Amino acid sequence: MHSIAESQTPLDFAGVRALAADDMAQVDALIRSRLASDVVLINRIADHIIAGGGKRLRPMLHVLAAGAAGYAGKEHAKLAAIIEFIHTSTLLHDDVVDESDMRRGRKTANALWGNAASVLVGDFLYSRSFQLMVELDDMRIMRILADTTNTIAEGEVLQLLNIGNADVDEAAYLAVIERKTAVLFAAATELGGVLGGLDDTQTAALRRYGMELGYAFQIADDLLDYVSDAETLGKNIGDDLAEGKPTLPLIYAMQSADAEQLASLRHAIEHGGLDSLDRIVASIRDSGALERTHAKATAHAVAARDALAALAPSAHRDALLALADYAVERRF
C-alpha cells in the first residue's frame, strides 16, 4: 500500500482537465465520428448533445485511471467514448421519464424533438456503445460493461418506483445511487486498471474508488438541489422536489421534523409541485439535513481517496485524488 499524502501543489479541476486534455481530445474526436448516422434526426440530436458540453467526467475518469495504471496504448479513448455513450443514453431516457425540459441550462432533446425521438436516439447510443465494445474484442471488458448497463437499467426502474414515495429510507436511496450513478463511475475506473494490466487487488481498488466517488458525486448533486440555482446547476432549486424525488436532504429532514413539518414534507413528495417550496426548503435547511447530507458525501469522498492508496504515486493518481475533493465541493 502507498501512503496518500497531500500534493505539494494540489490540483484544481482545471489542472485535472489539463492533464487529461490530450486524451480527451482523442475521445471527443471519436465521439463525434461514431455518433454519425445516415438518419438525419439522429445527427441533429447528437449534435445538440455534443454542443451541450458538460464536463465529460466519466470518460475523463477512465483515461485518468488508465494513466494511473500505467497504460500507454490507444484503446482507452474507445472505452471512454463507450462510457460517455452509455451515460448520454441514460440522460436522454431520464429526461423523458422525469419530463424535464432543461439540462445544464439548455433545452433537453425531448423538449425540442419529443419523447419518442429522445428514447429512440438513447437506444441508438446504447447499441452504438455495444458495437464499439465488440471492436475491442475483450470478453472481460464486455462483461464489465454489459453488467454495468444492466445494473443501470435496474436503477432507473428503482428510481421510478421511489418517485412519490415518502417512505423511501436512506438505504433505498443509496441503492438507487449505486445502480444509477456509482456503477458507471466504478466501471470507468476499473476498466482503467484492466487496460493497465494491474493485479486484481489494485484493479478492485480502482473500482472501489469509482464506486465511492459516484456516491459522493450524486449525494452532493442532490444537496445542490437545495442550495444552488439555475445559473450554476443548470436547474432550479426544488426541481427534485417538484418531481417527487425523495433525496437524502428530504429523508434526513423528515427524520427530525415535528408532526406539522413531517406532514408538509410527505405531502410535497407524494404530490410533487412547488406550492410550499419556500417553507419546505426553509424547514430542510433549519433541520440540519443539508449539513448531514454534506457530511455523508464527504465520507464517501474520503473513502474514494483512501482506495487510491493501493496505487503507485503519479500525476494521474493525484488527479483522481483531486476529483474526490471536487465531487463534494464543486459550486459551493
Burial of 323 (0-12, 13-18, 19+ CB in 10 A): buried
State the pLDDT confidence band at 139, using cuts at 50, 70 and 90: very high
**Rounded distance, CA 170 to CA 179, Å?**
14
Q: What percent of the chain has pLDDT over 90?
A: 72
- Look over the chain and give the mean of its residue pLDDT values, rounded to a whole number: 90
Burial of 297 (0-12, 13-18, 19+ CB in 10 A): buried
Per-residue pLDDT at 7: 47
Contact 27, 80 (CB under 8 A): yes
Q: Hey, what's the cell of 258?
A: 415535528
Q: Which of 100, 329, 77, 306 is nearest to 224 (CA)?
A: 329
Mean pLDDT, rounded, for 209-233: 84
Span 76-133, pLDDT tens digits: 999 999 999 999 999 999 888 888 887 767 888 898 899 999 999 999 999 999 999 9
State the pLDDT confidence band at 49, using cuts at 50, 70 and 90: confident
Per-residue pLDDT at 29: 93
Per-residue pLDDT at 321: 97
> Given a cut of 50, is residue 212 above it in pLDDT?
yes
DSSP-assigned beta bridge partners for residue 196: none
Contact 122, 156 (CB under 8 A): no
Q: For 76-88, give the DSSP string.
A: HHHHHHHHHHHHH
Question: How is residue 235 annotated by DSSP?
Answer: S
**Rounded distance, CA 152 to CA 224, Å?**
23
Rg of the chain over all Cα atoms, to the nearest angstrom: 20
> Given a cut of 50, is residue 332 above it in pLDDT?
no
> Given a cut of 80, is residue 137 above it in pLDDT?
yes
Per-residue pLDDT at 245: 87
> Given a cut of 90, is residue 268 above it in pLDDT?
no
Decide which of 76 and 242 is more confident.
Answer: 76
Whole-prediction pTM value? 0.93
State the pLDDT confidence band at 229, using cuts at 50, 70 and 90: low
Helices 75-98 and 13-35, packing angle to 10 deg: 80
Span 272-321, pLDDT tens digits: 766 777 888 888 888 999 999 999 999 999 999 999 999 999 999 999 99
Number of H helices, E strands in the chain: 17, 2
Q: Which of 272, 295, 297 is nearest to 182 (CA)?
A: 297
Q: What percent of the chain has pLDDT over 70?
A: 93
Per-residue pLDDT at 5: 54
State the pLDDT confidence band at 42, using cuts at 50, 70 and 90: very high
